[in-house]
Amino acid sequence: MAAKPKLTTEEWAKVRNTWESDPREGYAWLVESMALPVSAPGVRKVSLRDKWKKSEKPSKPTKTPKETSKLKTKKQGFQGFAEKPCQGFGNHRYRNHQ
């Protein structure tokens, strides 16, 4: 004979909603914060059985093309290889001499 459930269906729905809407991983925080009468492994077992899923994390806002073009003009970085090899010694075969 199966043991009597410690939480009702409605209580499990509330636990699931809380876990799915929170970004924290694991179940120990959930058991502690909701003072559940079940263990963290017990909650994990139910979550796997019922296929709980975390809500999608909001993606980072992407830069607009205008912002990207401004950044490119402000940065002074590599401007390509010089047409002629450097006449000096070392590993620097091509340099932009100015």
pLDDT tens digits for 12-28? Answer: 999 999 999 999 999 99
More confident residue, 65 or 55: 55
Domain ranges of the chain: 9-49
What is the pTM assigned to this prediction?
0.55
Q: What is the DSSP string of 18-63?
A: HHHHS---SSHHHHHHHT-SS-HHHHHHHHHHTT--PPPPPPPPPP
> How far is it, in rounded angstroms, from Cα 21 to Cα 36?
17
> Is the distance from CB of 11 to CB of 17 less than 8 angstroms?
no
